[in-house]
Amino acid sequence: MNLSPDQTIFWSYGFITINLTLVTTWGIMLFMVIGARLITRNLKVTHQISHWQCILEMTVTGINEQIREIGLDDPEEYIGFIGTLFLFIAMCNFWIVLPWYEPPTGSLSTTAALAIAVFLAVPFFGIQKSGFLAYLKTYVKPTFIMLPFNIISEISRTLALAIRLFGNIMSGGMIVAILLSISPLFLPIVMKALGLLTGMVQAYIFSILATVYIASAVQESNKKKNLSTQKSTN
């Protein structure tokens, strides 16, 4: 029983290694790109739309509403990143119902990469809204003494994102593998269904936390803009 899909190696030469995580990750990305192309090639604005377009519109509207409820007023600016995060993690975990499938989110390398993407996106959107220097000043608030603590907070929540997703998916896979060896067929099937539910919840939690982190950086810049506007008005 493998603890991670990283342990299944197809080809290796020097420092270059092609393992199961890499293969399934690129396979899922290819599947999503082709699927997105097929669904969006014949979009219509009339009342008679396809079922796929209906699902697409419901998904986009739902993600936009979640982003707006968290505090980002212009969800269209963030849905490209946050929506992709959610859909990719959800798609990785969706196929967990297949007996031979090992999700790439069961690899710490995948979850760490996703967490690093969030780590980089937070200052990107913060700087985009408030400017470079204004964003850096948020690290020394309320006093300069808080600088190391704010930096540690950024790093620790990135680690938490990676480990939380990895731990939940990996442990679910281990439980199913153990049950397959000691119990009848129907019980692992039930656990696979529960694993699917857990995977969808983890995709939602990961994307929500990413949105919260981005919103905290953006809202700080909005406060500064409001204060400067009030001062100029006075």
**226: pLDDT strictly greater than 60:** no
Cis peptide before 142 (omega within 30 of 0): yes
Q: What is the pLDDT of residue 87?
A: 93
Mean pLDDT of all residues belonging to the chain? 82
pLDDT tens digits along 103-128 = 899 888 999 999 999 999 998 998 88
pTM for this prediction: 0.84
Q: What is the pLDDT of residue 121?
A: 92
Q: Residue 14, by phi and psi: left (phi above 0), alpha (psi -120 to 50) or beta?
A: left
Domain boundaries along the sequence of the chain? 5-233
> What is the average pLDDT across 23-30?
94
Q: What is the pLDDT of residue 187?
A: 61
Are the C-beta atoms of residues 192 and 96 closer than 8 Å to each other? yes
Number of helices and strands in the chain (H, E): 7, 2
pLDDT tens digits along 168-197 = 887 776 766 666 666 655 666 666 777 788
Closest by CA to 82, choosing from 74, 169, 24, is 74
- SS3 of 19, please? strand
Percentage of the chain beyond pLDDT 90 is 26
Pairwise pLDDT comparison (11 vs 226), residue with the higher score: 11
Sign of CA pseudo-dihedral 139, 140, 144, 150: negative
Q: What is the pLDDT of residue 208?
A: 92
Percentage of the chain beyond pLDDT 70 is 85
As a whole number of angstroms, the distance between CA 231 and CA 112 comes to 43
